[in-house]
Amino acid sequence: MRRTINPCPGVLAIFALWLAACSNQNFQPEPDPQTQQPDLAAAAAPLALRGPAVGRKLMIIGNIDGELVGQNSRDAIFTDRLIADVGGAQNLRVLVVPAASASPAWLGGYLRSVLAFRDVAASQVDVAQIASEDDDTTPGVDESTWQNGAYKPSEIAKVTRANVIWFAGGDQNRLTSLLLTSRGKDTPFLSALRAKQQANNLILVGYSAGAAVFSDPMIGNGTSYGALSLPPSTDPTCSEDEALCVSPGLAFVPASYQVVIDQHFEQRGRFARLVRALALTNQRTGWGVSTNGAFYVDLQKRTAEVVGNPGDASVVIVGRRNKAANHEQAGPPFLGDNYTVSVLGTGDVYTLPDASHPHGLATHVDPSEVYAPFSAYYGTPDVLTDAFGDAVLIDKVTESFADATAQDSGARVDAIAFKADERGNATGYRMRFTAVAESTVAWNADTGYSIFDSRLQFTTISAKFGGLEP
């Protein structure tokens, strides 16, 4: 039971920007015989772009559903928004970048199938030949031969034809290795993309690994429990599963915002991983995006909103000040306190960070649905176990924070995560979410709970369980 209440620049200009980017003294193409500067004349010939300029936007998706049942797809809410923002189906030009994927052909085929029901022709969805893995569903094509695609004029020309570029999921480190040179500089493909973005005529979309790369630094691998209990990984390939690994991203979110992105956020309980990543990189703000949810960022307007089917999408905003203010212990174990946590639902809006609001400013779309936390609609909350489990933060912590009765010792929700040996000796962590004077919550019958400006603290715990002895 849940609480209820009543209530464009042209092609030549783009290529001028591209030339400026490529002439920068920091640009260093790979010293490979296949590496070559784009043939601008050949690339410019077929580039008549239809429709109005689409602005400079980022659609950061935690993960797509990837299923089409008849004409229905949970992902249609994302594609429908894109169609609206480019001025109609006739104007949509999608370029899929499959570089992260072990199945490079899949996303292009899926989007063509989904968009066909929105009157988007298959020819309006193209695939950049940039990949390092072969797709066994295409026996006539060896996609592993596409490793140098980010240097080829044919692929750079596709950037200029597109108004939406969609990065597939898979392995974010694979994606950055193909779009950045071995020196960490932009490949020609990435330079062309940035030029068109700066011309305010490109929407960048990424899901899963394709979303992780939007920040720089980015989270390359690791779990929440591993981030707290293990030293950070120094493996440049981020191949370890448990220890937190941070690596260079593509910086589509401007560095001035000091943002790190995480994805699959609620389903994999990644809030501790994100906090640890902020501390490791000395960044200030984390954006954690749920599966089937998107954070749609307008860089021109400096705003963002949560997009997704109602009740099926969330974005978590984590704020950090600095090592001293958050009393961080590098560990292991990693510990800290006084982090801010806001959980946003579908339709909630956000103003990007600035000097007055270094973590940005999140607000609920309907002020009449906002109220003080711990409304006493329910009894006092239990300590929640499996803190890093599926949707614990979104479903259980937020519900208790909004509508439970405060304990005698304070208005808070405790969630724990621990590991026990066969003799019953357990160690782990307590995550304490506390209400302060500025904390608020909201409830909407369709979208569920939102919370704003809770405080988060990490402490260690130990226990002895009976009945586990050999």
- Residue pLDDT tens, the chain, 470 long: 344 433 333 433 444 444 344 433 333 334 443 344 444 333 433 334 457 899 999 999 999 999 998 889 999 999 999 999 999 999 999 999 999 999 999 999 999 999 999 999 999 999 999 999 999 999 999 999 999 999 999 999 999 999 999 999 999 999 999 999 999 999 999 999 999 999 999 999 999 999 999 999 999 999 999 999 999 999 999 999 999 999 999 999 999 999 999 999 999 999 999 999 999 999 999 999 999 999 999 999 999 999 999 999 999 999 999 999 999 999 999 999 999 999 999 999 999 999 999 999 999 999 999 999 999 999 999 999 999 999 999 999 999 999 999 999 999 999 999 999 999 999 999 999 999 999 999 999 999 999 999 999 999 999 999 988 78
- Enter the DSSP assignment of 395: I
Q: Is the dihedral of CA 143, 144, 150, 153 positive or negative?
A: negative
Among residues 135, 101, 250, the alpha carbon closest in space to that of 189 is found at 250
Global pTM value:
0.90
Residue type, 379: G
CB 443 within 8 A of CB 451: no
* Beta-carbon count within 10 A of 351 CB: 15
195-222 in b/e burial notation, b at 16+ Cβ within 10 A? bbbbbebbbbbbbbbbbbbbbbbbbbbb
Six token digits for residue 41: 């004349």
Query: What is residue 266's three-state secondary structure?
Result: coil
Question: Which part of the chain is CATH 3.40.50.880?
Answer: 16-363
Q: At what angle do helices 76-85 and 106-116 cross, to 10 degrees?
A: 70
Region of 106 (left: φ > 0; alpha: ψ -120 to 50; beta: rest) is: alpha
Q: 16-363 has which CATH code?
A: 3.40.50.880
